[in-house]
Structure 1
Amino acid sequence: MLGRISLTARLTALYTLVSAVVLVGLGALVVMATERHFVELDRDFLKDKIALIQKIVQASGPGAPLVPQLSGVLASHQGLFIELRQGEQVVFATREGVFPPSAVGAAAAPDQPTDWRVGGQTLRGMRALVEAPAAQTPLQILVALDTAHHAHFMHKLVQTLALYLLAAISLSGLLGWWAARNGLSPLRTMKERAQAVTGQRLDQRMPVETVPVEFAELAQSLNTMLERLQADFARLQDFSSDLAHELRTPINNLLTQTQVSLAQKREASVYQDILASNAEEFQRLARMVSDMLFLAKTAHGIELPHPEAIWLDQEARALFDFYDAVADDKGIRLSITGQARVMGDRLMIRRAIGNLLSNALRHSTADAEVTVTIEEQDGTATLCLNNRGETIAPEALPRLFDRFFRVDRSRSHPDSDGAGLGLSITKAIMLAHGGEVSVTSVDGLTSFCLVFRSPLAAQGAAIGDAPNG
């Protein structure tokens, strides 16, 4: 149930509780200070009266009547009670029963007032001793004051403070609610912006400059997330469009050839040629579907099927043998330098290198050279494949590894049946191995590099014998 309480309500309740504690504490301090002040006033008053009585007693001669003189002291002071005792005998008393034994006993401190109740009255009194003329023992002076006027004042004060506290706490609650609501208004603004985000409106951003510092990091994080979503959604739209375009070509070819073949009867050899052509298109579609399934798996992270120690130069030379005929047709020379050993899946790494080599042979100029350079340094192994050809525009380099991306869509390569997924697959393979792939193109020299960060890369020269070139 508490989890459903709004943050505004929680802050309001907390602010009200803190205000109530502070105000009640302040009210208690006021009451205690007032009580202490009254005690000090009464103590000074009682001391003054004791001093006056002592003066009267000491000034009176033997046998002089004390009653008239003490009655004069009481005449101008309502609620004042006096009693003189000599031992256990009461010499003078304004009223009997005012001073109980607890008020005159040894427990009562001589310099501090003592409170007690008699007949519904609350009295505050003090005691002192005085040497009387011709008296064998000192007289004990007992003075008490009725505190009814103090009690009445304190009762009114407590009532006033209670009303003030209730009003102040209520006002604090309202101010707390207003402060919490206005303080959380940036969250409501961010909520409205978030509700406006749809698949067609991913350009909405959270206000960063207009929100408090505490919300700025949250707003920036949400903006970063929205930017990623927008970029991913744009790539998904481009991918869907490219996929439809790539699938449309072979499907149209199959449909056209099938419709033409069904238009009239033909010889068996013609049907065989048409079926052979259709089979090529089906193979192209099958490879495209297989590549797309592979990319879909790697997008969510995969474990290497068969990790093992692999010599990169051995795999590159094996691919040289496979592509040797294509290289000879274009008069391209293949060369390799360096060696390194990494941990990975042999078929996946060979496919990554093969994609780069096929791409290099396709775009390299005739009678040029394609070189593979392998280096090992600081725990990483790098395989770079270099070829001479047309310089790739700098703005196109970041998109080379996107699915179905081609630098020049208007230009086709009749010697290739690729669908523009080779470099994307190479990137996915390197990510699965914890590495990366990069590309540079300057003055006609294009270089693709595979970077492996495998423990064996730093120990390749020490593990086993290096392969023979």
Structure 2
Amino acid sequence: MKTLSLTARISLLFAVAASLVLLSTGYLLTRVVDAHFKEVDRHELSGKLELIENLFKHAASPEQFDLLSQQLDDALVGHPGLAVAVTDATGRIRFATPGADFPRTLLQNCQTPSAACTYGSLQQWKRAGISYRGMAVSIAAGSGTPYTVAVAQDIEHHEIFMNTFRSVLAVAIALAALATASLGWIVTRWGLSPLRQVTDTVAGISAERLADRLPAKGLPAEIKPLATAFNAMLARLDDSFRRLSEFSSNIAHELRTPISNLMTQTQVALSSARDKDAYKEVLYSSLEEYERMAQMVGDMLYLAQTDNRLLKPGLEKVDLAHEIQDLFDYFEAWAEEHAVSLIQTGSATVSGDRLMLRRALSNLISNAIRHTPPGQTVRVSLGRHGDTVTVSVENPGTEIPAEHLPRLFDRFYRVDPARQRKGDGAGLGLAIVKSIVEAHGGSITVMSDDQKTRFQIALPASAK
């Protein structure tokens, strides 16, 4: 089943809404016109009843009563379609105009007190295909004799008018609904033109044109948030594609170096006959390159698992001060080799995965030792502020330019790739630290000046 377009839907809704409004209006107009005709007939019939009643009141003598028929005929001259019937107390008709075929109930109701036999109480009936509207009242002649007077008006002309009025109104409503749907389609299509422009622009965006942006200026208020959100998404995609491209380039670069070293060493080893010790040295050198590649591949797999939330941190209590002291013991020999001292202050406990947190702290401490000048100190401070535990790893050294700070946690990113030293790793350590911290619901920041560089982790505190 084909789905209607937005323009068609809005046009149909316009037509339906207009039809409902017009139908309601037409219904009210029909009721008002019909009520008007009823009121006109009531006024006309009431006037005739008052005239007839007045004639009967003045007929006090038998001679005057005999003249009533002629007086009634004279009073009804010029009133075609008007019927009158007068009956006495026994129900015998004393006067009737031609065609005065009244319902017997209308005349009988006035022989006894009844709500139907009062001024203004209209009844409607049909005889021989002609509709009538009439009323009846009890009156007394001048002699005191009671009579029932009934008057009726032929309302065929009213019904013809109402039928014509309804037909014209139905045609007008149908044409108005059609016109509303057409105008709604035109207006909607014009109103949605900015959305079509946005669609055309979006359709032209590809992986090679992620730098393009939707023009938010001049757009309607309803579409502007959509354009803003889409531009923000494009910015994220552009950044992700850029990072992915750099990531692929860095992987190729990082793998090319050890592979090139392995090929060179193998070619040299095969170029001439060597003794056992020489081959052993080549194998040890190759083993170092294999270990380096294995470490890089392992780190990449670890990051891939954290990105896809495949690694779920445990929820054991971790004494950070104890873990840091163990790491100091582990790095003690290396720190002494670089003439770097290690100091830890404070204490804190968090809930999390001990091995994951230990790996994050190990990466930060080893990074700090690597970049600390000889004779200086690496300081690790623990603290708690409300429900947050902070871990600061601070080392003196060369200032990191501000433009590099936001990207320090990117994979394979180095402040100065040309100054990479053997043993510095593949540039994944800080990325792993960030992934571990975020997996524990925390955050990590870095600041650097001409005196020191500080990495600070914020983690949810463990409940006591």
The TM-score normalised by the length of structure 1 is 0.90
Q: How does 1:57-456 map to 2 (within 5 A)?
A: 57-60=56-59, 61-64=61-64, 65-87=67-89, 88-95=91-98, 98-106=101-109, 108-111=116-119, 112-133=121-142, 135=143, 137-304=145-312, 307-414=315-422, 416-456=423-463
- List per-residue Cα deviations over 1:297-325 (Å, max 9, x = no partner): 11122444655333222222222222222
CA 1:343/1:120 → structure 2, altered by over 3 Å: closer, same or farther? closer
Moved more, 446-455 or 176-185: 176-185
Letter in 1 for 2:137: A
Partner Cα separation in structure 2 for residue 426 and residue 15 of structure 1:
58
Partner Cα separation in structure 1 for residue 313 and residue 177 of structure 2:
69
Preserved CA contact (<8 Å) 1:365 1:389: yes
CA 1:143/1:452 → structure 2, altered by over 3 Å: closer, same or farther? closer
Partner Cα separation in structure 2 for residue 313 and residue 215 of structure 1:
53
In the TM superposition, residue 27 of structure 1 has moved relative to its aligned partner by: 0.8
Preserved CA contact (<8 Å) 1:103 1:116: no
CA 1:331/1:393 → structure 2, altered by over 3 Å: closer, same or farther? same
Letter in 2 for 1:127: A
Partner Cα separation in structure 2 for residue 306 and residue 89 of structure 1:
109
Partner Cα separation in structure 2 for residue 189 and residue 59 of structure 1:
88
CA 1:346/1:122 → structure 2, altered by over 3 Å: closer, same or farther? closer
Moved more, 122-131 or 437-446: 122-131
Preserved CA contact (<8 Å) 1:307 1:343: yes
SS at match of 1:200: helix
In the TM superposition, residue 367 of structure 1 has moved relative to its aligned partner by: 1.3
CA 1:28/1:264 → structure 2, altered by over 3 Å: closer, same or farther? same
Structure 2 unpaired stretches of 5+: none
Letter in 1 for 2:168: T
Preserved CA contact (<8 Å) 2:372 2:397: yes
Letter in 2 for 1:118: R
Preserved CA contact (<8 Å) 1:284 1:417: no
In the TM superposition, residue 74 of structure 1 has moved relative to its aligned partner by: 2.5
Partner Cα separation in structure 2 for residue 124 and residue 305 of structure 1:
90
Letter in 1 for 2:147: L
Partner Cα separation in structure 2 for residue 252 and residue 450 of structure 1:
38
Preserved CA contact (<8 Å) 1:98 1:118: yes
Is 1:44 aligned to 2:43, yes or no?
yes
SS at match of 1:213: coil
Letter in 2 for 1:62: P
Preserved CA contact (<8 Å) 1:436 1:450: yes
SS at match of 1:140: strand
Preserved CA contact (<8 Å) 2:409 2:431: yes
SS at match of 1:440: strand
In the TM superposition, residue 376 of structure 1 has moved relative to its aligned partner by: 2.6
In the TM superposition, residue 423 of structure 1 has moved relative to its aligned partner by: 1.0
In the TM superposition, residue 417 of structure 1 has moved relative to its aligned partner by: 4.3
Task: Report % sequence identity.
Answer: 40
SS at match of 2:38: helix
Letter in 2 for 1:94: T
CA 1:105/1:217 → structure 2, altered by over 3 Å: closer, same or farther? farther
Partner Cα separation in structure 2 for residue 96 and residue 63 of structure 1:
27
Letter in 2 for 1:102: T
CA 1:115/1:422 → structure 2, altered by over 3 Å: closer, same or farther? same
Partner Cα separation in structure 2 for residue 220 and residue 62 of structure 1:
100
Letter in 1 for 2:379: T
Letter in 2 for 1:439: V
Preserved CA contact (<8 Å) 2:313 2:440: no
In the TM superposition, residue 391 of structure 1 has moved relative to its aligned partner by: 0.6
SS at match of 1:63: helix
Letter in 1 for 2:17: V
SS at match of 1:455: coil
CA 1:23/1:270 → structure 2, altered by over 3 Å: closer, same or farther? same
SS at match of 2:208: coil
In the TM superposition, residue 373 of structure 1 has moved relative to its aligned partner by: 1.6
Preserved CA contact (<8 Å) 2:313 2:439: no
Letter in 2 for 1:20: S
In the TM superposition, residue 400 of structure 1 has moved relative to its aligned partner by: 0.8
- List per-residue Cα deviations over 1:272-321 (Å, max 9, x = no partner): 22222121111111111011001111112244465533322222222222
SS at match of 2:30: helix
Preserved CA contact (<8 Å) 1:302 1:432: no
Partner Cα separation in structure 1 for residue 380 and residue 314 of structure 2:
25
Partner Cα separation in structure 1 for residue 330 and residue 25 of structure 2:
91
Letter in 2 for 1:45: E
In the TM superposition, residue 52 of structure 1 has moved relative to its aligned partner by: 2.2
**Aligned pairs, number:** 454
Letter in 1 for 2:68: L
The TM-score normalised by the length of structure 2 is 0.90
In the TM superposition, residue 404 of structure 1 has moved relative to its aligned partner by: 0.8
CA 1:349/1:59 → structure 2, altered by over 3 Å: closer, same or farther? closer
Aligned-pair Cα RMSD in Å: 2.3
Partner of 2:15: 16
